[in-house]
Amino acid sequence: MKTLAFFDTKEYDKTYFEALKEKHGIHIRYFEDKLSAETVSLAEGADAVCVFVNDDINKAVIERLYQMGVRVIALRCAGYNNVDFKAAYGKIHVVRVPAYSPYAVAEYTMALLLAVNRKVHKSYIRTRDFNFSLNRLVGFDLHGKTVGIIGTGKIGQIFANICKGFGMHILAYDVYPNDSLGLNYVSLEELCEKADIISLHCPLTESTKHLINKNTLSKMKDGVYIVNTSRGALIDTEALLDAIRTRKVGGAALDVYEEETDIFFEDFSDSFIGDDTLSLLLSMPNVIVSSHQAFLTNEALENIADVTYENLDAFFAGETLKNEICYHCQKSGGHCSRKEKGRCF
């Protein structure tokens, strides 16, 4: 029986992975700690490791895992910006769950937009104090507004369909436009200039880090609303705060935060958070911050467990790794052998 070292474990993870482990013949050692250079020794004796979005799979971690005999890292998520693929290439295979539930994330994106626009978070708090005043709760119709969607992969596509149902006009930006979707693709500059609402659905790469910055914010409409359910570092948070203060940004709904690694998914309700930037965001009346929960549905969690086990089964059986990603997969024009050999190396 193969052993899996499972890092950054939450109760909901165990519920779905425990239900399927006998079927796949994998013994799991669960750790609440995130994988890092300080905790990698916990994987001693394991055949594989399973990690999530805020684990730090850097070069030192890769080297130590390789020394311990680990040959596969299973990401139970779609994003992979936390992995040093250059260090992993030729040593450790990296597999992921590319689409556990795009509907979950897209639907939550609309939920955040509706909440921040219609001040649902504020009215909820008021009525619990028996305050039924409607003062300062005015929002706007989504119908007829222009939404700019940055990133038109599966999540972006589904969010676009949801927006169509609201009668919204859609502008799209993607480095790789998909003409079959029937979306109105424009430049990033034009999207910023014309959109009433901007929603981020692209991966975090070197080229997309701080895609929303002082310059792009300056091109946006006064009072623009920004929603981010993708990766926190797509937005320069300090620039966003300045734009909120000057009312350039009318509202922001963020399910991710660029410095979330040591904060999100944990309970700090009885302690202090030493992050002044996040504290400022949370204090803004026109900002909603949630803790990276857009993916969190029963369907998504079941799919994550299913696909993670399938990825591991394929690896240990020597089969094609259809969900593998490597250094060459990410490099434009780079050669990856997966199509010929079924694996990246």
Kindly name the residue from 258, 292, 324, 343 that is annotated as catalytic. 292
Q: Quick check: is 245 catalytic?
A: no
Q: Are 275 and 263 in contact (CB under 8 A)?
A: yes
Mark whether 260 is an active-site residue.
yes
Distance, CA of 285 to CA of 300 (rounded, Å): 31
Q: What is the DSSP letter of 188?
A: H
Distance CA 243, CA 218 (A): 8
Catalytic residue, chosen from 76, 93, 260, 324, is 260
Residue 79 is encoded by which pair of tokens? 């994003």
For the record, the structure tokens of 141 come out as: 């119709």
Contact between residue 82 and residue 57 where contact means Cβ atoms under 8 Å apart: yes
The label of the residue with tokens 């949801």 reads 162
Task: Please enumerate in sequence order all residues whose Cβ is within 8 A of that of 93, keeping only pairs 6 or more positions apart, or say none.
Answer: 71, 72, 73, 315, 321, 324, 326, 343, 344, 345
Active site residue 258: no
The single residue listed with the structure tokens 């780079």 is 334
Sign of CA dihedral 15, 17, 19, 22: negative
Contacts of 281 (CB under 8 A, 6+ apart): 237, 241, 252, 254, 257, 287, 289
The catalytic residue among 231, 258, 324, 343 is 231
Structure tokens belonging to residue 194: 């014309």
Q: Specify whether the CB–CB gap between 152 and 177 falls below 8 A.
A: yes
Q: Which two tokens stand for residue 313?
A: 């089964």
- 249 DSSP β-pair partners: 224
Q: Which residues are catalytic?
A: 231, 260, 292
